């Protein structure tokens, strides 16, 4: 599709006005920050059965009530905090998903202790560009299936292969921008200069 500046972008940007800025500044750029990685996996879980537009509109408020998705803090949320969140119209009020965020925060703390960082763990599953499906033609990949299985084995919830693949697309573990997209080259350049986190 043609963006607001007349340049070509991935077609999904046309679905909502706010998608273009998210696409241009975030989607597909490699991320090594543990909190951002945890946040995105949580938001993808919240999106299950909903639209990304809904989640994007609620993201700022969700960051506030989930303490910036600092998983060390979220891991300490108790039932009273869950009850308060269920009354908050600014988030997705789904008990299972809220409880999954808290559960996953506790699992994230353990994962960070084991690997040194969440980034070091997740980047082991990066999809080789030479083996990736053509951009935006797949909803899962062998790597997302493997990662989802390992997360579930570790006790994570709401982390199916499709949710995990969407997380990988957004966090740069696969460059799924179409070739004609004006951002595709920027993402490739960002990845070329990106230092892949390693296990401590």
Marked catalytic residue, from 12, 22, 99, 126: 22
Q: Please, are residues 28 and 170 in contact by the beta-carbon 8 Å criterion?
A: yes
Please, which contacts does 120-123 make with residues 24 or more away whose CB atoms are closer than 8 Å? 120/197, 120/198, 120/199, 120/200, 121/199, 122/37, 122/147, 122/171, 122/173, 123/32, 123/173, 123/196, 123/197
Task: Tell me whether residue 44 is one of the annotated catalytic residues.
Answer: yes
DSSP string for residues in 181-199: -TTHHHHHHHHHT------
Q: In angstroms, what is the C-alpha Rg of the chain?
A: 17
Which residues make Cβ contacts (< 8 Å) with residue 159, sequence separation at least 6? 41, 45, 104, 148, 151, 152
Task: Tell me whether residue 52 is one of the annotated catalytic residues.
Answer: yes
Marked catalytic residue, from 20, 27, 52, 143: 52
Marked catalytic residue, from 20, 27, 39, 44: 44
Q: What are phi and psi of 8, to 5 degrees?
A: -75, 145
DSSP string for residues in 125-176: GPPPTTTSPSTTS-S--HHHHHHHHHHHHTT--S--HHHHHHHHHHHTSS--
Task: Tell me whether residue 114 is one of the annotated catalytic residues.
Answer: no
Q: Which residues are catalytic?
A: 22, 44, 52
């Amino acid at each position: 599709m043609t963006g607001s500046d007349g340049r070509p972008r991935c077609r999904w940007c046309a679905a909502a006005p706010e998608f273009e800025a998210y696409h241009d500044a975030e989607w597909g750029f490699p991320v090594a920050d543990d909190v951002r990685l945890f946040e995105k996996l949580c938001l993808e879980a919240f999106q299950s059965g909903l639209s990304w537009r809904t989640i994007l509109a609620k993201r700022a408020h969700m960051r506030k009530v989930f303490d910036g998705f600092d998983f060390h803090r979220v891991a300490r949320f108790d039932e009273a905090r869950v009850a308060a969140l269920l009354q908050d119209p600014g988030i997705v009020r789904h008990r299972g998903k809220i409880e999954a965020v808290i559960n996953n925060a506790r699992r994230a703390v353990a994962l960070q202790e084991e690997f040194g960082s969440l980034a070091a763990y997740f980047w082991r599953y990066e999809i080789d560009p030479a083996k990736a499906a053509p951009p935006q033609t797949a909803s899962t990949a062998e790597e997302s299936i493997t990662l989802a299985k390992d997360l579930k084995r570790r006790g994570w919830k709401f982390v199916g292969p499709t949710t995990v693949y969407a997380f990988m697309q957004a966090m740069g573990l696969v460059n799924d921008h179409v070739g004609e997209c004006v951002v595709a080259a920027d993402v490739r350049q960002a990845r070329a200069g990106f230092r892949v986190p390693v296990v401590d």
